[in-house]
Structure 1
Amino acid sequence: MSKIQVIKSHTLTGHNDCIYALAEGSDPRFFYTGAGDGMVVEWDLDNPKDGKLIAKLPNSVYSLAVDKQRNYLVIGHNFEGIHLIDLQENKELWSIRLTDQAIFDIQVLGDEVFVGTGDGVLIVVDIPSKSIKKHIKLSSKSIRVMDIALGKRHLAIGLSDHSIKILDLANEYQPIANLTGHANSVFALRYSPDEKILVSGARDAHLKFWSVDPYALSEDIVAHMYAINYLSFKEDGSMLVTCSMDKSIKVWDTEERKLLKVIDKARNAGHGTSINKVVWSSYTQEVISVSDDRSISIWNIEPQHT
């Protein structure tokens, strides 16, 4: 098996509070961060040092999503709803009040925005008509994370009631599966690029691999010391990264489900506090991480064949 070499290529600063949200742009050269300071910033991987302020909101931003079709940025604003920013024009198009609850995750597919709320409601917003299309009550506990399998048109939803619910977007949001097994809130959830597996991570520090056709647990790993906050696949699906409240990032071999590398403060001058989000850039193939320490790190992760 190949070894992994990790080099930190950049540390970016500018936020004045914990960074909670991270999203890759429709042009993956750009990425977006949102923080407890209410600032949403655009960063350019070709010139990463200087961020550009996109929006300044009065409350924390926990979630961002990019509408790649229209080049819009959807901002989840706590206690208010969502704001739509036209990234081409760099201006707000509209906002809609949805909930007085925290918005922990947003996904966009076609004309629809899926908003997961702190009181367990999935709100479907229609972009062209700027209106609420549907409320789906899934739980009394928070929706924490979502992911879409584009080919299958499945929406996977991780909740604070410890479950993962799968809805069929091609069939009126009908439930397909209810996956149980985590002992605490599910914070991390991603389909592999080939959509053959779904990987989840939770506050229980476990990483679970689920086969998708049909949905069933195939592997359970005690992956971190504390909560797994997020995960992201490399574009080719060969590896994935997890980030944790234990201040580490871990690189995993997807097929063998083995740990390849630990990135932390002691070994790699990593983050000093909880790491909240990671994205494996499809532009540079580097890993971007954001933390409670208010900084953004960009990691070059190269297999060293032995």
Structure 2
Amino acid sequence: KVAKEYGSTNYKVFKGHDGAIRSVAFVPGKSQFYTSGEDGRVLKWDMERGEKNLQVVYSGSGIAEVLSVSPDAGWLACGMDNAVIKMIPVKNPSDIQYELKGHTGKIKSLVFSYDGKTLYSAAVDGKLLKWDLTARTCGEIGTGNVKITSIDISSGDSYLAGLSDDGRALIWNPSENRETMRIETPGRSIKSVRFRPGENILAVGYDNGLVEFWDVKQRIRIDELYAHESEINNIRFNRILAQMATSSSDGSLKIWDMTDLKALPLEFRDNDDLVVSVEFSPDGQLIVTGTTGVGTNLMGRPTDASLLAENLCGLLSRNFTRDEWDNYVGRDIPYEKTCDEKEFGIKVKVLR
């Protein structure tokens, strides 16, 4: 609360969109990221400079429902609400752009292959398309009349996962356009799918707050976690640290330690509305979230509690008293000073 109210090196609020955020996408290997909103704009940000270095990449009547940046950081793909995919050069957005047309409904999900030569797209029309970005042509991946609305790809392009509109997960071998398995549980609906980087492990989030982990090569479930009290709407993995982020319709964002899923997560409940987009920064130090709110709808937070506390001593005037420590930390934990007195930024003069 202190970091949000007074500011912190590692706690940032980005103000630029009017209305809800639709999507967040980082430029690989950099501290820059893109956002799209219901205001019809696509903005480019710098984590260090915030709105001081804000750049309007697109502004129009259409809304970019989803964003994705190519692995070589060359292209920004914008999935629009008019069924078109806009391809915008990252280095110079004013350079020649082009459009990919093949869907008949708003685009809901985009993912580049790891070699950057292919783009996969899913839309409300239920079609799953595979785009050859050199020829700028597409082919449809067979889904067996199942409508796919969200997709992700595993490291090395080995497997493609799709989420159906009726709550099932389908897995394909993308090089052969061949379905290899399905994940479905009677009475429960899958709401989110995401591959763990560097592995063939798929995280599957359900409508009851459960997250399952599947080895899609062996076709077996290997673990599970009750992460929230209600629907899981986002799952993301930290590529640097062993962390998983989950957001839910219960309004919370949680960061889990993948080496110990029984450990309590770092939890944020200060979101101004439903979290609809979550992305870790390439260096793994921050996580950016976009919400459906209109106030502080775009925030960057540290991925570790120690980073969250960094610089806060300069905003405080004293340490906890022993009574405060017992109330807020716990009697079973030995008392210690949280800040060196030399670090306090607010000096209090005692009147006698």
TM-score exceeds 0.5: yes
1:87 paired to 2:93: no
Q: Is the 8 A contact 1:146 1:189 kept in 2?
A: yes
Q: Taking structure 1 as reference, are residues 145 and 26 closer, same or farther at Cα in structure 2, changes over 3 Å only?
A: same
Aligned 8 A contact 2:32 2:44 in 1: yes
Structure 1 residues 142, 32: CA separation in 2 closer, same or farther (over 3 Å shift)? farther
Corresponding position: 1:69 with 2:72: yes
Find the aligned partners of 1:35 and 1:128 in 2 and give their Cα distance.
29
* Pairing 1:163–2:163 present: no
279-288 vs 178-187, which moves further: 178-187
Against the structure 1 CA distance between its residues 244 and 102, is the aligned structure 2 distance closer, same or farther, given a 3 Å change threshold? same
Structure 1 spans left out of the alignment, 5+ residues: 265-269
Question: Are the equivalent residues in 2 in contact too, given 1:139–1:161 (CA < 8 A)?
Answer: no
Return the offset for 1:237. 5.0
Query: Residues 103 and 125 of structure 2 are in contact (CA less than 8 Å); yes or no, is this contact kept in structure 1?
Result: no
The reply to whether residue 102 of structure 1 matches residue 106 of structure 2 is yes
Instruction: State the alpha-carbon separation in 1 of the partners of residues 201 and 43 from structure 2.
Output: 32
In the other structure, the counterpart of 1:267 is none
Higher mean C-alpha deviation, range 138-147 or range 245-254: 138-147
Contact 1:25–1:31 (Cα < 8 Å) also in 2? yes
Instruction: Show CA shifts across 1:52-84 (max 9, x none).
Output: 111123233221111122610000001231000
> For this pair of structures, how many residues does the alignment match?
294
Q: How does 1:1-306 map to 2 (within 5 A)?
A: 9-50=11-52, 51-69=54-72, 71-91=74-94, 93-109=97-113, 110-132=116-138, 134-138=139-143, 142-151=147-156, 153-170=158-175, 172-181=176-185, 183=187, 186-258=190-262, 259-264=264-269, 270-283=270-283, 285-294=285-294, 295-302=297-304
Once residues 75 and 274 of structure 1 are traced to their aligned partners in structure 2, the CA distance between those partners, rounded to angstroms, is 22
Counterpart contact for 1:200–1:207, Cα < 8 Å: yes
The code of the aligned residue for 2:74 comes to N
Deviations 1:14-73 (A, max 9, x none): 111211211111343111111222211111112123321111232332211111226100
CA contact (8 A) 2:205 2:232 kept: yes
- Runs ≥4 in structure 1, deviation > 4 angstroms? 5-8, 139-142, 182-185
Provide closer, same or farther for how the CA distance between residues 13 and 240 of structure 1 changes in structure 2, counting only shifts above 3 A.
same
Q: In 2, Cα distance between the equivalents of 1:15 and 1:141?
A: 35
Query: Which structure is richer in relative contact order (CA contacts within 8 A, separation 6 or more)?
Result: 1
Structure 2: 5+ residue runs without aligned partners? 307-332, 334-352
Task: Calculate the aligned-residue CA RMSD, in Å.
Answer: 2.4
Give deviations 1:157-190, integer Å, cap 9, x for gaps.
12222111111123x2111111112855544322
Q: Which has the higher strand share?
A: 1
Among the aligned pairs, what percent are the same residue? Answer: 21
Residue 221 of structure 1, CA deviation: 3.1
